[in-house]
Each structure stands twice: as C-alpha cells, then as structure tokens.
Structure 1
Amino acid sequence: MAKPVYVLNGPNLNMLGLREPHIYGSETLDDVRRMVEDHAKSLGLSVSFRQSNSEGELVTWIQEARTEASGIILNAGAYTHTSVAILDALTAAEVPVVEVHLSNIFRREPFRHHSYVSPAAFGVLCGFGPKGYLLALDGLHARLGAAAKS
C-alpha cells in the first residue's frame, strides 16, 4: 500500500470552530479531518491527520515523514512565522510539502506575512478556509503522480 500523506496541524488548530470564527470559520478540526479523509479517498490516497501544540512533536512527525509518508500538508499555525526548526525538518524530510493557512496571512498583522515554512514547500495556499486542505491534496496528488511517471 502507498504511504499516507501526513496532514500536520500546529498550535491552536485544535480550537477551530471556537477561536475567532470570523477569521478561521466555524468548522472544527474534526470537520476538516473528515473532509480531508473523504477527499483523499476519492483521489486514492490515505492520510495521517495530526495536530499538536508542541513544536518538538511537529518536528518529530516531519522527520518521521521522511520514511513513512509520501508527502506533507502542513498548517504550522503560528510556528509558520517563528520556527527555523520546522523549516530544517521539512528540508531534511525530502518529501513534497504543501503549506496551508485557513486565513489569508497577507491580510493580517505584518508579523504573519513572513513564513519560515514556504522555502521548503512546492506550494502555498492561504485564505481558502478548510477548502485549502482539499486544494493541497489535489496539488500533492498531481505532484506524486508526475513523480511516479518520471
């Protein structure tokens, strides 16, 4: 069986549906997980959907992805703007990465305009809400299919 896509979610994403719904929407992270799993299945992919408030745990999962995952979809939350450790782990993982944000980070506070994750990602989606995860799956599916043909 093909390796799963790791869908990794950073700090405070466990609060979706409660935290600032005017920015992040009313769907919960469990709602997002179900949407992602259903869409992945329709593409013939499997996912390992995870969330942590701990930077170290995210780094460990990213390192694990090097051998256990076909790719990574990452919503690093606030760590996007602060974590060189996550960037280093993504670079070392050597699997395709898509960066996802529910909100448009460029319409928010200036400190959110910089991403440490982006240099390791082949694609970045922001501002599409939970649909961004589905678009990320589509992009990753296309990337994995193209890699399999070459």
Structure 2
Amino acid sequence: MEKYLSANNIKIPVLSEDSKEFVRYLEDKDVDEEFIHELKHDNIKVVYIDKSLKKLAYQTKEMLYDTLLFNRNVPLKQGDLGVFDVTRKEAAYFQNDGEKIAAVFGVNIGYRYIEEEKLYVKPSNQSKWKAVSAEEADVSVTITIEGEMKGTYHFKRIWP
C-alpha cells in the first residue's frame, strides 16, 4: 500500500504541466523538507510533473511563473546557519552592509530589497523575509569579512 502525503486528510494531486489533468497523488517519498515547510504554512499552489525535465515540481502561492523541483538532498535551512566569511571585495559590493551580506551569502534570500516594507525577496520562490531580533528569527547567520567579525543577523519568513 502506497503512503500518500495529505494536507488536512486530503490527498495532494500531481497534475500534468500541459493539460493540468490529474496524473497521480503525491507520495511521502516524493517530497523534500522545503515542500513540507511550505505545506505546513498552506503555501502550495500546485504540484505537477515538469514536461521538460520529467520531474516533480511545485509552485508556492507567492510564485507567478517559476517552479521549484523537489530535492530530498537539500535540507531545510532553519536555526543558526553558522559563520560565512566573505572577501573585502564581496563586502564592498554591498557597501559593507552586514545585513545585506548575510541575506545574500548566509541565508540565500537574495538581494532584492523593498525599502518601503523593509523586506528581502528571495528570487527562487518570491518569498519575503524581514530582519528581526534573535528571539523572532527563523534563521540566523554570522558574517565575517576575511576573518574579522561583522555581526550576527537574524531573519524571519513573512508568510502570505
């Protein structure tokens, strides 16, 4: 008997990318930690079989066009992600702003920053992140510049 993944006791359908027709249900063995995290926050729009890559893919509610492929080899990034050491040249690109360096190198949120909202937007899935205190953080990262301590930075995911 197959073990199907379900949300609120509803099996999650996998659709054909072209026709949007039902192909099968998503199974536990299909998913990765990032997908489970998105699912817990009710942020999955659709799961389908990518026609060009012939692999399972999904979109979050934040994504317009891009998709994410399931990758069981990549763990969910949460908690303290450790120390990231950057060169002075890399730091200068970000005007030595430790928070922006942490967002790009440490948390891999990306460098799109919405000044009015004080939010970072991750390019791969359009998720929004905010710099917060250590107590509120989903992830934290320490930045050093060629071995010299710059600081520890904390970020929280803002769910749709």
Instruction: Compute the TM-score of the two structures, normalised by the length of structure 2.
Output: 0.21
Q: Using CA pairs under 8 Å that are at least 6 residues apart, name the structure with larger relative contact order, 1 or 2.
A: 1
Bigger proportion of residues as helix: 1
Larger relative strand fraction: 2
